[in-house]
Every structure is written in structure tokens, then in C-alpha cells.
A and B are shown apart, each in its own frame.
Chain A
Amino acid sequence: MASETLIRVCMGPAGIAAGGKQVIEAFHAALVDAGVSAQVRERCSSHQVGCMGLCARDVLVEVHQGDVKTVYQYIKPDMVQRIVDEHLVAGKPITEWLVDEVYASFYRKQIKVVLADCGRIDPEDIDAYEAVKGYEAARECLTNRRPEEVIEEVKMSGLRGRGGAGFPTGLKWELGRKSRGDDKYIICNADEGDPGAFMDRAVIEGSPHAVIEGMIIGAFSMGARNGYVYIRAEYPLAVERLKKALDQARTRGYLGKGIFGSAFDFDIKIKLGAGAFVCGEETALIASIEGMRGMPRPKPPFPVNRGLWQKPTVINNVETFANIPAIIRNGCGWYAGFGTDKSKGTKVFALTGKIKNPGLIEVPMGITLREIIEEIGGGIESGRPFKAVQTGGPSGGCIPASMLDIAVDYESLAKVGSIVGSGGMIVLDADDCMVNVAKYFVQFTQSESCGKCVPCRVGTKRVLETLERITTGKGKEDDIERLEKLAGGIKAMSLCGLGQTAPNPVLSTLKYFRDEYEAHIRDKKCPAKVCKGLLTYSIDEATCKACGACLRACPSGAVSGEKKKPHRIDAAKCVRCGACFEVCKFGSVNRE
């Protein structure tokens, strides 16, 4: 073993959850254990890296020896010693722990621009970032280009805002540049409020310097001297890594006065969000940074003219900024080579739900949903039929199985009643009730509505009440019509994006899964057997072993029975919580 050995341990959100930190510690300990690994130790280093993507197989461990890469899956701390002994010392990889074909198919259709360095470099080490050409793009812009040239490059790349709305980034920067005022601000929106999405978190945790570099370039382009990263307090590790990265950048002189020896001054502050989905809206986010309740205000004036502290302000999302360094380094033509006519480049998605290989993926715009779900995601985990995929979170919609061949880009998804959104992609199977999914999202938007405008505050409440009624068997014949009418009103009249898009989950499920609504309302049945109020429980006396598990689990005393005699459920006392169904080991509890 003449070449160096490098061990990379996934410390993305899922890697940490699966015990990545303990695995790294185990490697450190095993490698220090001199008797075993004296020859290895000198040339071997183990690093934490950000999300490698295939979160379902965490903890993922890569062993690099020269050009040879070996990837292990599902690694636990107690497995580390054997890897060190057999692979590193004896030179024989442990074949039964290696990743399989799934790993290859997971990556085959992906193109990594934003995530290029996530999972490859130590996110807490600025040298590691610089070794992969980090800060070259910012240096090039600040020392060799005029702001207008940088803006032109970004415009030509076709990059559109990755936060959800898809506004052209170059154009936003140009408006910011043209807006009058000496004091301008640039803000990175890292308040990833969409439940079921963790793209921004993974990008900041995996490559925080790329976001900082993108902000420096943006600030230079529009002429901002102050920047903020508005980040969720629920992401403590992302905050910590970002703080470290900012300190490192400051020490190198990449932030502060006269960056890269130019005349340009710029610095970035971190502002912790306090948990409000509406703060993803630009004017609400600004109000929140100013220390007030995050309530949107009417636009115009737009933030590029009057934003933070009434000064011109440009707000971009984490992923948008993380695209910038690669675009500058490789040129706009390279970036525009990915994607479709109107949606250029790549997009990061958090692929989750009932999928075999959940994880973080980056794909070229225009890829079909089928490619994502079947080839990258490996299909449905349970083997049950695929039903729908939810994109865009509370502002998006559900796309049915019959439309799996549509392209994933801003225009195509909008056409079928959903949106690209920030990148949540939740796969649903036959066990999911679409009315319940719609209710879930409306519950969310209703409680997150800031309450300023009536259509959103009262409208979402009325929609939720209607859905509650439908899912508890009290649905009325005209409820579908009522929902459609309410939805139209909320969309048309709400002040900000939250309200304007809140009805989408309802409208899209009504469009493609109307029969499920009708089954709930007319037949008082939930076809997917999810909505509790519509289910009845009974015990199959033939198979009941009288173990008493359901009797103990029942919170309302509805189960009765003695030892060795089949138990019974008293329908009048049953609160339909499903506890008996869950605890029965013999499948003797029926759910209808």
C-alpha cells in the first residue's frame, strides 16, 4: 500500500442520525490502536463529510486507496474494527458489507453541481474547500470582472431561484444593482420551513463555503456591503458549521475589508429564525430580521427597492447561492447545457416517503418523475402500488401515477397543478389517503398563516373545517363544491405566497383523486384505511390468542375479555385510536 488511504464518513443529517459520529470515533480509536494498524496509521486519515445522498443506507463509509474507492453501507461503530483489520491492514475489503447495485443506480442519473462537494470534503475545513477550487470564482469576479459582467454571466446561465418561485437570479441581481442607494443588503434565505425537505440543511452542513462564496459574488454584483443568513434555529449543526466557515473566511480575508485585495468590503451575519413558515416570504423574512413579527406586506415596493431597513435588498435561497461558484468557474454555457429550454441547470430534491432509497438527490431539470422514482429511488418500498408524488410541500400538489412521465421543471409541474418548490418530493403509495394528505397540509398552512389578511386567515380555517368534517364521516354532499369555491377565493385574494398557494394540495387532490373525496363523503369510507373516524375495529375470534395486549393498550376500556377466551371490542366505547390494531401480533384485529 504505497498510496494514501482516506476514509470518508457521512455526517449529513441522516449520517449523524444513524450514528456517524460514533463511527468516526471508532475509526479514530481503531487507527490509533498501534498494534493493529501501525503501518496504516501514517498514511491514513479519516474525515467527516456532508451528506453523501443515499441516506437510507447510512452510515455510509468510503475508503479511498489511490484511485480505488470502496463504499460500505449500514456501518455501525462495532463494525469499524473489522474494516480496519481486514481491509486497511490485510488489504481485503469485506465484501458482504459493500454497497450493492442500488448504490450505482441511485447515482447513475444524477448530476451534481450544488452537491458536488457535499460528501467529498470536510465541511469544517476551508483548505478542503480551496483544494476543490473553492473561492476561485469569487477571486476571479472581484479582481478581474466588472459587476455587470458577473450579472450577465448569471443571466446567461439561466439560473432561477431555487427557493420555489423560480425568479431569474441574474435579473434579480441586476435590479438590485440598478436600485439606488449606497447601503444595500444581500440575504441568504436558509429558513427551510417546508416540512419534508432538507436540501438547504444538507447544503449548508455539507459545503458551507460554497454558500458564502455565492453570497460574496452576489454582493459584489449588486454592490451590497452587508449580508445576512437567515437560518432555522432547528438546524443547530448547520448553524455551527456556518459560523465556523464564516470565521475561517474572515481569517483568510475573504470577508471583511478589501476582499482579495480589491476595494470591495463585505461581511455576513447570522440571524436565527424562530420558527415561522411565512418567513420564507421575502417581506416577512425582512420583518423578522428587523426583530418584528414576520408578517408580509403588499408589494410593490419590492425588496430590491425597499427591503431590509428600507434599503435595497436581494434575497436568494441557499441552493441558488451554492450554484453560483460553479457557474462562474465553468461558464454560463456549461450550466445552461443542463436542463430544459426554460428551466436550466440542476435541482436538488429531498426524495422521501414510501420510497425504497430515500435521500438527497440532484438531477438535471427536465428529468422525468419516473426516472427519479423508479431508477434513482428504486420504486416503492413496500411493494404496494405507487399512488402519487407530492412536490412543493404545502404550496404544491400531488401528481398521480398516470403522469409519471412528465418532465420535472418549473413549467411542466405548474401545468399539472403542482410546483417544483424548494425541493421536497414525497412519494405516496396505496396506503396513503389523499384527503388526509390534503388535510395535513391545510392544517400546516392554517396554523402558519400569519393572520394579517382575511382570505388566508379565515379561508384556510374554513377549508380545514370542511376537511375535518369529510375525514370524520360528517361530510356533506356539497362539500367538494364548497372546497373548490373557497380555494379559488383564497388563491385569488390572499396577500402573499402562503395564502395564494395554500389551496394547491386540496385542488390537486380534488382534481386527480376526486373519487376518494366522494368515498369519504357518500360512502363514509376511507379507501386507504387512514382516516380514523371512518374506521371500525373488531376482533377476529377465530385467530385471537387472548394474549391481552389489546386489552392493556386500549385507552377507553372498550376491549373486554378473560384469559384464554377471545377478546371483544365494544363499538360504543371505542375511540378508534387504533392502539389495539397496532399491538396485535396475530393480525386478529380487523380494521374496516
Chain B
Amino acid sequence: MQKTLDNILSRYRESGGNVISLLQETQDAFGYVPREAVQFFSRELGIAASKFYGVATFYAQFRLRPVGKHKVTACCGTACHVRGAERIMSGIQRELHVTDEEDTTTDGQITVEKVACLGFCSFAPVVLVDGAVHGKTTTDAVIKEIKSLRKK
């Protein structure tokens, strides 16, 4: 971890210092923004940790908790909404015993996320399972897909 953080920090210094890019690189590296990373940057740069958290909690992209091995992303855009996205989302959450807040299964296998819009509106409702697009999908189809993930 330390080596990665050093690299991110040196790129930050070279590029003139952009907190968002710094956090984006951190998340790319770890899947989330670890507390240790923020403490390290705060110490090295003399910027209060609250400033990093201010940015990290402002933007939807950043996560402060580890992400599961697999990721299920339910699109909640308008086109998906009118085609039952909410029902699919609650079906998945029920199946995996996760919530909006506690979005990762206890075994750390699967994270379920909502996203505002993926831009696949003509295939609504859409769910991404590990990045693969499942269009015009149903709760059952997604759950089946999730079960096969678990076997992998």
C-alpha cells in the first residue's frame, strides 16, 4: 500500500495538486478511499483530513468502505425507474441481505450499488454485473447471474 500511495503523492505534486484526481487515483488503486490513505496524504501535504473527506463525500464516485470482489450496479435513471428499477434493486438487496448503507455482503463477495444513469436507457431496466450490461432485465435474471458469480 505504501508504495502505491507514494506514487500517487508524487504524481499529485507533479501535476500541481488536484484533490479530486488524487482521490480518483487512490480509489482506482484500492477500490475505495482507505482511511490510512487520507491520513497519509493529510500528513504529507499539511492539508486537513476533513478537506479530503469533504470532497470524497461530496461526489457520488467515492467510497469510504472496501468494495466486494464482485460488483452489481443497478441503474436508477428515469427510463429504468419507470420500468421498475426500484423493484429490481430491492429484490437484489433482499436476496443478498444488503441495504443502501451496508451495501456489501458480509462475506465481502458482492457489493450492490445504485447509479444515477448509465446511458443505456433504450434497454431499461439495466443492471451491470461486474461491468457486463444486462438490459431489459428482471429481478430473477439478475439473481441468477449473482448466484453464478458466487460459484466462480
Contacts and interface: CB of A to CB of B under 8 A. Distances in A.
B78 A291 contact: no
A198 B126 CA distance: 14
A429 to B, nearest CB: 9
Interface string B15-32: 001111101100000000
Interface of A: 13-14, 16-18, 55-56, 58, 192-198, 201-202, 233-235, 272, 274-277, 288, 290-294, 350, 352-354, 358-360, 390, 393, 424, 426, 428, 432, 437, 440-441, 444, 450, 555, 577-579, 582
Interface residues of B, number: 39
Contacts of B117: 192-198, 234
A198 B119 contact: yes
Contacts of A201: 119
A195 B133 CA distance: 17
Given A276-B59, A352-B124, A577-B90, A192 B78 contact: no
A359 B19 CA distance: 37
Contacts of B119: 13, 192, 197-198, 201-202, 234-235
Contacts of B61: 233, 274-275
B116 A193 contact: yes
Given A293-B54, A424-B78, A274 B124 contact: no
A555 B78 contact: no
B81 A352 contact: no
Contact of B59 (A55, A274, A444, A582): A274
Contacts of B62: 274
Interface of B: 17-21, 23-24, 54-55, 58-62, 76-79, 81-83, 87, 90-91, 94, 115-124, 126, 133, 135, 139
Contacts of A432: 82
A291 B79 contact: no
B81 A440 contact: yes
Contacts of B76: 195
Given A13-B120, A195-B117, A198-B121, A440 B78 contact: yes
Contacts of B120: 13-14, 17, 198
A14 B139 contact: no
Contacts of A196: 77-79, 81, 117, 121
B19 to A, nearest CB: 4
Contacts of B78: 195-196, 352-353, 390, 393, 424, 426, 440-441
Contacts of B58: 276, 293-294, 450
